[in-house]
Amino acid sequence: MKNICISKNDMESTLFKIFIKYNFTKEKAKLLSEVFTENSLSGVTSHGINRVPLFIDYIKKNLVNKNAEAKKAEALGSIERWDGNNGPGILNAITCTNRAVELSKTHGIGLVALRNTNHWMRGGYYGWQAAAQDCISILFTNTKPNMPAWGGQDLKLGNNPFIISIPRKEGHIVLDMAISQFSFGKINDYKLKGENLPFDGGWDNNGNLTNNPEQILESEKSLPIGYWKGSALAMVLDMLATILSAGNSTYKIGLDEYESGVSQIFICINQTAFRDSNLQEKLLKEIIDFTHQTTHTKPGEKTYYPGERSLKTRTENLKNGICVNQSIWQKVLEL
């Protein structure tokens, strides 16, 4: 199926109409349409426009309470626990990121642990959100079981997306990665394009590693980054998200047919508290320049710092329009 190009304004206005139709307030509809569009604009359609039909399906099935909002449950100085009340994951994550930023401005560091929330779509969005407010951030979420623990065959771990952001005048640094080699959204992107993954991304139903996206989506067995190391990291992130929020673990989330009620962590550090911003900028530039100055594996290629490609893609998409799979856009229009 071929792609079509949609302008930022057209995508945002279309999504706004959809969310209004499904009885979101104007304020929430505007925020949701902005986030889904921004994710797509940055080249992450897998967690942007492609997810809109699924998000609406969850609303229809009452798996997401569109009227619920995250509320503070416990306060321990710079650490707080919040309950998402099964509300929209995007809105809950924005609220908790902003709260972690506020805590960091008072205490130097702030941690908000959120339970009973839903898929936050592109975790990197909240890294950019924190960086825009001069905060370093460390964010992560657990998920339903979608990876085997290393050495096993059954689904026991989540691919638990992990984000680190660092503010920088010349372009924020934002690492946004699942603990699987490819997120399931990205695997589905390759399926829609009719292409194989560039590297093995999971197992087929016969227990063989494969780069065939359809086989991985069928088995639901993704490959952890770094093999056994990624397996251990996924487990520890789940443990931290669960105990800090007093919420659901990957095990508990997996007891239901659909993924909901996940646990998330939002840690922000007030970068300006150190009062040496010029030194920080110098040190970051030193690291980036050192990495850029390398012999490339192929002619015309270059190395990137985390977030650099997103900035480049965003600029290109603002000029040329957002590339969207035609069948996905048709599903969105039908909503």
Contact 69, 85 (CB under 8 A): yes
Phi, psi dihedral angles at 14 (to 5 degrees): -65, -45
End-to-end CA distance of the chain: give it in Å, rounded: 20
Q: Which two tokens stand for residue 4?
A: 């079509």
Determine which one of 47, 107, 172, 296 is catalytic: 47
Strand 209-210 relative to strand 221-222, pairing = unpaired
The CA distances from residue 79 to 24, 131, 164, in Å, are 31, 20, 19
Name residues whose C-beta falls within 8 Å of residue 319's C-beta, 6 or more positions apart in sequence: none
Amino acid identity, position 102:
E
Q: Tell me how far apart the alpha carbons of residues 69 and 161 are, in angstroms, rounded to a whole number.
A: 22
Phi first, then psi: give them for residue 71, nearest 5 degrees.
-130, 145
Tokens of 289: 């320049």
Nearest to 69 by CA among 101, 99, 107: 99
Which residues, including other chains, have CB under 8 Å from residue 29's CB and lie 6 or more apart?
A: 16, 19, 20
Q: Write the CA distances from 54 to 18, 119, 133, integer angstroms.
A: 13, 11, 31
Picking from 53, 50, 45, 93, the residue whose alpha carbon sits closest to that of residue 70 is 93
Q: What angle do CA 134, 316, 52 make, to 5 degrees?
A: 75
Residue 21's CB: how many other CB atoms inside 10 A? 11
* Active-site residue, 47 included: yes
User: Is 53 exposed, middle or buried (CB count within 10 Å of its CB: 0-12, 13-18, 19+)?
Assistant: middle
Q: Which residues are catalytic?
A: 47
